[in-house]
Structure 1
Amino acid sequence: MKKKLGVLTVVILLVSVCLFFFVRQPKNIFDEIYQETEKSYQVDNIFGKNEDIIVRPVWPSDNESLKYSPHVTYKDNIFNDYRKIVLGFNFQNLEQTSFIRFDKYIDSGVRIRVRVGYSYREKSLKKEVEVIVIKGNSENYIDNESQVKSYLEQYGITAKDLDSYYGEIVNQKVLKDWCTIYDSKYSPSNYGDVKIETQWENW
Structure 2
Amino acid sequence: MKRKRLFISIFIALCLSFGSFQYYKYQRIHNIFDEIYYEESDYHNYSFLWNGRAFYQLKGLKIVDNDSQEISIHSIDYESEDLPNDIQFLGYYFYFGFQGMTKVGVEMRLRIPDTETTINVEYLYDVNNQQLERFMWYQDEKHVRYYHQSQVEAFLEKHGKTVEDIRKEADDVLRNKVLKDWTSIYSSRFSTKNWGDVTVKDIWRDDLSKN
| Normalised TM-score (structure 2) | 0.75
Backbone CA RMSD of aligned residues:
2.7
Structure 2: unaligned runs, 5 residues or longer: 1-15, 205-211
Question: Residue in 1 aligned with 2:122?
Answer: 115
The list of structure 1 runs, each at least 4 consecutive aligned residues, that deviate by more than 6 angstroms after superposition, is: none
Measured after TM superposition, the shift of residue 167 of structure 1 is 2.5
Q: For residues 22 and 64 of structure 1, do their structure 2 counterparts lie closer, same or farther at Cα, with a shift above 3 Å needed?
A: closer
2:133 corresponds, among 113, 126, 129, to: 126
Distance change >3 Å, CA 51–CA 23, structure 1 → 2: closer
TM-score of the superposed pair, with normalisation by structure 1: 0.78
Equivalent residue, structure 1, for 2:33 = 30
1:20-70: CA deviation from partner (whole Å, max 9, x where unpaired): 7278430000001001111124634321110032224xx2x332446x840
Asked if the contact 1:102/1:114 (under 8 Å) is kept, the reply is yes
Taking the aligned partners of 1:198 and 1:144, their CA distance within structure 2 comes to 13
Alignment partner, residue 145 of structure 1: 149
Are the structure 2 counterparts of residues 41 and 174 from structure 1 closer, same or farther at C-alpha, using a change threshold of 3 Å?
Answer: farther
Which stretches in structure 1 are left out of the alignment for 5+ residues? 1-12
Q: CA deviation at 1:164?
A: 2.8
Worse-matched range after superposition: 22-31 or 119-128: 22-31
Provide the residue aligned with 1:48 in structure 2. 56
Structure ranking higher in helix proportion: 2
Counterpart amino acid of 1:55? I
CA distance in 1, matches of 2:69, 2:105: 20
The whole-number CA distance in structure 2 between the counterparts of 1:126 and 1:41 is: 25
Aligned residue pair count: 179
1:160 offset after TM fit, Å? 3.7
